[in-house]
Structure 1
Amino acid sequence: MFSKLKIINLSIFTDNKILLENINLVIKQGEPLVLLGESGSGKSLIIDAVMGSLDSKLNLKGEIFLDDLDLLRLSNKQRRALWGKKIALLPQEPSRALDPTMKIVNQVSEVHQYIHKRGKRKSYKHSLKDLKDVSLDSFEDSYPFELSGGMCQRLTIAITHASNAQVLLADEPTKGLDQALCKSVAKRLNKEINDNRLLLVVTHDIEVAKYIKGTLGVIVDGKLVEYNTHKNIFTNPQHLYTKKLLQSDSSNWEIEKAKESSQILIEAKNISKTYGENKLYENLYITLKKGEITSIVGKSGCGKSTLGDILLGIKKPTKGKIITSILSPIQLQKIYQDPPSAFLPHQTLLEGFEDFIKLHKLCMHMLYDWFNKMKLDRELLNRKPSEVSGGQLQRMAIIRVLLLKPSIIFADEITSRLDPITQQEIIYLLVDIVKKEQLSLLLITHDLQIAQKISNKIIQL
């Protein structure tokens, strides 16, 4: 069992840009490390460097030791031999980690079979327990595409836990989860600590950082600006960014709601939806009006995204009727919960946006204007979707929808990948757009507090 992970003077850079600069960190048994920071600050690059999965286009300097094992001197084959057995990764994007063709119980079971060398029957039994621990035992025969984003996140947690590795790297482990499940995940992570595993958590979720007590680091623009005990940073933050971060909770937001309207764009009558014997809801009556914000709130897996898809005509209700005054389908736009699903993985982002702008007869300067408003560097356009952070990709997905000037936007958990400061900026921007453009915003969120701050109507499932 490893007792210490030590990162010494770690720098990561391209030919013309420093992404991380002289990072020094120590993780010990019983002393987990949580890294807080905004999207794109370089937090996840540290996990990639430890894991050995850093993009080959990036340069690295420094040292990383697991006790006396010098990770950076190992060959790629030797690094991969540690994966799952010694070092386990809880990935930021479940969609990139899960096999869409395999039932979820089998995806957990194969960890027990191939990592722990258990027989099929014992592996199956262990996998059911792992799924039960994340409240997915009743979905054992489901495929990932049949689960919500939050449920897929829980599935990756179950798979990672099943590996029983000595080092656990958790990259944004609670995005897209409601508060109760966030606490459950934090409790699970604390159990890993009690089992003497080395734990590194990268997150923008302040609540998760509060639950996991150990050392806390704050990263801004690739630099470690604070590094202290959990207690000292929360009670006496020193850096201006840290102070701003801790004050950015949605309970402190001051925002004027959009004015109520009488013009109905979509009317849903007596909507019911069932999957087999599972009844999500029945006899719902909902209207989406011009210039208003409607939020759908509820726990992971309760059918929030499905209801949004029904309202936009992407899915059909089991019963009921949808009446719309929207004449063109292009006026109905969805911002997906899973940003990578909205972009072609083999294209650079610039190529994708150029195709999009050409198709819809738009201008590139409109794209650059939105990049400025979203505080995104144009240099990111030269990368592929997998080469930017989840939060950066989410902002680009929002931009692509806004370029079309739709009448209705269905925003599915659009802030779950954003740090609290960026989250506040994006929500304020969207509310302002709703007011100015008189569009209708349908927001799916697990955060009731945000819904209460900005919504004209709230649907709780």
Structure 2
Amino acid sequence: MTVSLNVTNATVFTPSNVLVQPVNLALRAGRAFTILGETGSGKSLLTQAIMGTLPDGLIANGEAILDGNTLDLANPSGHRAFWGRKISILPQEPWLALDPTMRAGAQIAEGHRYVGGMTALRARAQARNDLMALDVADAEGKLPGELSGGMAQRVAFAAATTGGARIVIADEPTKGLDIARRDDVIALLMKEIEAGGTVLTITHDLALARQMGGDVAVMLNGRIVEQGETASVLADPAHAYTRRLIAADPENWHKTATRPAIPRDPILTARSLAKRRGGKHLFEALDVDIAAGEIVGVTGPSGSGKSTLGDILLGLLPPDTGSVNRPKAIARTRYQKLYQDPPSAFPAKIRIGTGLDDLIRLHRLDSTRIAPLMDRLHLSQTLLKRLPTEVSGGELQRFALLRALILDPVFLFADEPTSRLDLITQQETIQLLTELAREQNCAVLIVSHDPAIIEHTCDRRLDISRGTSSTGTVPHSHVNFSAVRHIW
């Protein structure tokens, strides 16, 4: 079996600090390679060094041999000729990779035309076929800002593979996707491998690593601490960190004790909610009551209306019919949201610390609360000087949680709040979120594609799944609102 990408002594550093220690990797045609590790461990920096796309101020050393072509990682200008044709990347934040002013179909067609060499007519047809194959055909005429996180990820995948590159670097390709969609993406990546290509996947999803198979490397603090065949490493890990990573999988969490059913005044009620989007009926005749301090999980397949429901409850989106009521004595700023994609919730040109200072001044908050919360969320003070684009997706999501918590919310809609976090940080963040919710008597509505998170965290579950009405003819959402302890 030939080596399609051989990386030798790849390092990433600044003039004062080494961020990625020397790494050696051999990616073989027809075989998957997965890098596991926590947020900030250096996984993305390593792949950026291979691609030649490191941010300004970071330096790479080492060598990569790409299908017989030697690339000097210290001189990334020579990498550009291979982008899209030999090697491509599916980025961690699809909205940052897509042109916000260009419709999805046109972006994919552009790749087929200018990288793949197709005619304009054929490129448009192929773009349509790509979207159909990914089950997002209705995204063709939409702008990236009109797409859900899962849809944007699939559009970005289609755009990344238009040039025929046989080596695909997939940075967290399944984040924010339900199990069915995750399996669809894995199937697409496996097709690349079965066709003789190579996929280098960066992930914190153990299920993805197991399904991809092949080889795995576990990364910690810029070092590869364990490497070998995926099945062997995950079944019998040699390093303590790998064992800790596996223990942090939601499937292995202990069930959080639900609170006894004590009558409480609701901090939010909704009656007879209905909503259609894109010609589809998401839900109808939906009643919701959420009491102070309770934690409610929302599950359902991609596109079923989970995020839409949360936006309606917050007043960010009007329902087609129905009403939402919140106690008038509670300030609207105490109804908060954690977005699925934190880059869309932060101004790109304002440093994180400046944004927090502005929030403190605007709402006359206690600035001394920031440092303790940063410690509990494992956020370094040095990150306050950076722009949102200069921190990892996981770090930015934790800043989003911090920003919501300092407003003392009575209701927090958490839309896939840990989809960008590694398993260990995810477990710690969920534990912190639930602890603070209990301490502050804050109700939390959590959307998650991972049923294990809902099972082990929530008091109740609201399940929104595609179904049929009682007549069996009108498509709509079947809504099941139940106590978690009665479900599993």
Q: Does the CA contact (< 8 Å) of 1:257 and 1:453 recur in 2?
A: no
Deviations for 1:68-123, whole angstroms, at most 9, x for unmatched residues? 42322686554223222222110100110112222222121111111122122211
Q: Does the CA contact (< 8 Å) of 2:166 and 2:192 recur in 1?
A: no
The question of 1:128 aligning with 2:128 is answered yes
Distance 2:359 2:59 in 1: 32
Instruction: Show the counterpart of 2:379.
Output: 376
| Distance verdict in 2 for CA 1:417–1:127, change over 3 Å | same
TM-score normalized by the length of structure 2:
0.91
Distance 2:384 2:431 in 1: 25
| Greater mean deviation of Cα atoms: 320-329 or 304-313 | 320-329
Deviations for 1:351-372, whole angstroms, at most 9, x for unmatched residues? 2222222222234431111111
Q: Does the CA contact (< 8 Å) of 1:147 and 1:301 recur in 2?
A: no
Instruction: Show the counterpart of 1:202.
Output: 202
Q: Report SS of the residue matched to 1:284.
A: strand
Deviations for 1:303-340, whole angstroms, at most 9, x for unmatched residues? 11111000010000001111111531111111111111
Aligned pairs for 1:228-239 within 5 A: 228-239=228-239
| Distance verdict in 2 for CA 1:374–1:258, change over 3 Å | farther
One-letter identity of the residue aligned with 2:374: F
TM-score normalized by the length of structure 1:
0.96
Q: Report SS of the residue matched to 1:317.
A: coil
Q: Does the CA contact (< 8 Å) of 1:259 and 1:292 recur in 2?
A: no
Instruction: Show the counterpart of 1:9.
Output: 9
Distance 1:85 1:60 in 2: 23
Q: Does the CA contact (< 8 Å) of 2:62 and 2:74 recur in 1?
A: no
| Greater mean deviation of Cα atoms: 72-81 or 246-255 | 72-81
One-letter identity of the residue aligned with 2:415: D
Q: Does the CA contact (< 8 Å) of 2:53 and 2:76 recur in 1?
A: no
- Residue in structure 1 matching 2:283, options 273, 281, 284: 281
Instruction: Show the counterpart of 2:219.
Output: 219
Distance 2:56 2:293 in 1: 47
Instruction: Show the counterpart of 2:101.
Output: 101
| Distance verdict in 2 for CA 1:239–1:276, change over 3 Å | closer
Aligned pairs for 1:235-250 within 5 A: 235-250=235-250
The question of 1:25 aligning with 2:25 is answered yes
Instruction: Show the counterpart of 1:422.
Output: 425
Task: Quote the offset at 1:437 in angstroms.
Answer: 0.7
- Residue in structure 2 matching 1:330, options 325, 330, 333: 333
Instruction: Show the counterpart of 2:460.
Output: 457
Instruction: Show the counterpart of 2:355.
Output: 352
Distance 2:93 2:145 in 1: 14
Q: Does the CA contact (< 8 Å) of 2:116 and 2:162 recur in 1?
A: no
Distance 1:259 1:427 in 2: 20
| Distance verdict in 2 for CA 1:7–1:158, change over 3 Å | same
| Distance verdict in 2 for CA 1:377–1:73, change over 3 Å | closer
- Residue in structure 1 matching 2:364, options 361, 365, 376: 361
Instruction: Show the counterpart of 1:43.
Output: 43
Instruction: Show the counterpart of 1:257.
Output: 258
One-letter identity of the residue aligned with 2:422: D
| Distance verdict in 2 for CA 1:235–1:74, change over 3 Å | closer
Aligned pairs for 1:152-231 within 5 A: 152-231=152-231
Deviations for 1:398-421, whole angstroms, at most 9, x for unmatched residues? 111111111111111011111111
Q: Does the CA contact (< 8 Å) of 2:115 and 2:162 recur in 1?
A: no
Distance 2:69 2:301 in 1: 43
The question of 1:431 aligning with 2:434 is answered yes
One-letter identity of the residue aligned with 2:457: I
Q: Report SS of the residue matched to 1:81.
A: helix
Distance 1:459 1:146 in 2: 25
- Which runs of 4 or more aligned residues in structure 1 lie more than 6 Å from their structure 2 counterparts after TM superposition? none
Long gaps (5+) in structure 1 = none
Distance 1:68 1:14 in 2: 29
Task: Quote the offset at 1:382 in angstroms.
Answer: 2.1
Q: Does the CA contact (< 8 Å) of 2:52 and 2:73 recur in 1?
A: no
Distance 1:123 1:301 in 2: 27
Distance 2:142 2:183 in 1: 25
The question of 1:343 aligning with 2:346 is answered yes
Q: How many residues align?
A: 460
Instruction: Indicate the percent of aligned positions where both proteins have the same amino acid.
Output: 38
